[in-house]
A and B are shown apart, each in its own frame.
Chain A
Amino acid sequence: EAGVAQSPRYKIIEKRQSVAFWCNPISGHATLYWYQQILGQGPKLLIQFQNNGVVDDSQLPKDRFSAERLKGVDSTLKIQPAKLEDSAVYLCASSPPNREGAYEQYFGPGTRLTVT
């Protein structure tokens, strides 16, 4: 089966500009996650969707970050305006329905954002 797709793979912007990332989860996966991974650290959850509803966005900096998942499939994550500290890899993951209850997450390759 196809994996989680993300685009673009790389993005360089200047501070105060806007940027958007796109994610297409594995077909049939109702749960979708966005993570931020700063260099040298583990990924940190930003937001979790179940279908097109938000389950957890407690760690999303809502003054500049927004995310949506229209129709419960693809998702976009936007940063407006970007700051230098937003330089990171943004990972999207999805999780299968409760067939066997493992709830493992499948990650995409990520988008590497550099803010200058």
Chain B
Amino acid sequence: DAKTTQPTSMDCAEGRAANLPCNHSTISGNEYVYWYRQIHSQGPQYIIHGLKNNETNEMASLIITEDRKSSTLILPHATLRDTAVYYCIVRLRNRDDKIIFGKGTRLHILP
């Protein structure tokens, strides 16, 4: 079973910041938080990952709470192309640890 809890769906206006929450209250000390997204009819796409510090890349920012029991993925200026299912995943940062996908959050960007 997935170790994370996410809202089923969210809406966000185009051009605004999209903030996607994720709860992972049973995360262990050496597990990372990964985010992937899946646009319709495509395979999942890696977005970002982090351990305990906030992370930012060209796609998004990841904010992890100090107790590491929850995190937020931030898309700073959402566009229609960001409409997708977003998966929050907790896993070890090694090759052999499985990615266990939950149902994710279906994000709708509204024009």
Q: Which residues does A use to contact B, with CB under 8 Å?
A: 4, 31, 40-45, 48, 50, 55-56, 91, 93, 95, 98, 101-110
Known contacts A42-B87, A42-B104: A105-B41 contact under CB 8 Å = no
With a cutoff of 8 Å between Cβ atoms, the chain B residues found around residue A105 in the complex are: 44, 46, 99
With a cutoff of 8 Å between Cβ atoms, the chain B residues found around residue A31 in the complex are: 95
Q: How long is the Cα–Cα vector from A103 to B97 in the complex, in angstroms?
A: 9
- Answer yes or no: B66 CB below 8 A from chain A CBs: no
**Sample (8) of A-B pairs whose CB atoms are under 8 Å apart:** A42-B87, A42-B102, A102-B49, A103-B94, A104-B34, A105-B44, A106-B46, A108-B43
How far in angstroms is the closest Cβ of chain A from B110?
22
Q: Which residue from B44, B94, B97 sits with its C-beta under 8 Å from A107?
A: B44
How far in angstroms is the closest Cβ of chain B from A10?
11
- Would you call the interface of chain B mostly helix, strand, loop, or mixed? loop
- Answer yes or no: B13 CB below 8 A from chain A CBs: no
Interface bracket on B: 20 to 34
Instruction: Report yes or no: B103 in contact with A41, Cβ–Cβ below 8 A.
Output: yes
Contact with A along B1-38 (1 / 0, CB 8 A): 01000000000000000000000000000000010000
How far in angstroms is the closest Cβ of chain B from A6?
8
How far in angstroms is the closest Cβ of chain B from A99?
12
Q: How long is the Cα–Cα vector from A55 to B95 in the complex, in angstroms?
A: 10
With a cutoff of 8 Å between Cβ atoms, the chain B residues found around residue A40 in the complex are: 103
Instruction: Report yes or no: A4 in contact with B43, Cβ–Cβ below 8 A.
Output: yes
Instruction: Report yes or no: A104 in contact with B49, Cβ–Cβ below 8 A.
Output: yes
For chain B, residues 89 to 111, give those with C-beta under 8 angstroms from any C-beta of chain A.
Answer: 93-104
